Amino acid sequence: MRESSSKRHYNEPLARIVKKDAMSNQRMAAYSVFALILAIAAGGVFIFSLGYNPFKVYATIVSGAFRSSISTQGTIKIAIPLLIASLGITHAFKMQFWNIGAEGQIIMGGIFATYFALFHSDWPHWLLMLVMCAAGMLGGGLWALIPAFFKTKYGTNETLFTLMLNYIALYMIKYLAEGPWLDPKASGFPKIASFEKNARLDEVFGVHAGWIIGLVLVGVVYFYLKYSKQGYEIAIVGESENTARYAGMNVKKIIMRTMFLSGAICGIAGMTQVSGAAYTLSEGVAGGVGFTAIIVAWLAKLNPFVILLVTIGFSVLEKGSSVMQSSFGLPTSVSDILQGIILFFILGCDFFTRYKLIFRKGGQKNDN
Tens-place pLDDT, residues 318-336: 899 888 888 888 887 888 8
Across all residues in the chain, what is the average pLDDT?
Answer: 89
Predicted TM-score (pTM) of the model is 0.89
The pLDDT of residue 353: 76
Q: Is the dihedral of CA 206, 208, 209, 211 positive or negative?
A: negative
Residue type at 171 in one-letter notation: Y
Residue 9 CB neighbours (<10 A) = 14
Span 303-331, mean pLDDT? 90
Question: Residue 310: what residue type?
Answer: V
Q: Which of 115-129, 219-233, 308-322 has the lowest mean pLDDT?
A: 308-322
Q: What is the pLDDT of residue 329?
A: 83
Task: Return the pLDDT at 219.
Answer: 97
114-122 CB contacts, 8 Å cutoff, 24+ apart: 114/181, 114/192, 114/195, 114/274, 114/280, 114/281, 116/199, 117/195, 117/196, 117/199, 117/274, 117/275, 118/181, 118/192, 118/193, 118/195, 118/199, 121/195, 121/196, 121/198, 121/199, 122/198
Give the span between the Cα atoms of 362 and 367, in whole angstroms: 14
Which of 312, 311, 322, 308 is closest to 61 using CA atoms? 322
Greatest mean pLDDT among 24-28, 70-74, 128-132, 175-179 lies in 128-132
Q: What is the mean pLDDT of residues 276-290?
A: 93
User: What local confidence, expressed as pLDDT, does residue 363 receive?
Assistant: 47
* pLDDT confidence tier of residue 11, bands split at 50, 70 and 90: low
The reported pLDDT for the residue numbered 366 is 45
Q: Are 293 and 86 in contact (CB under 8 A)?
A: yes
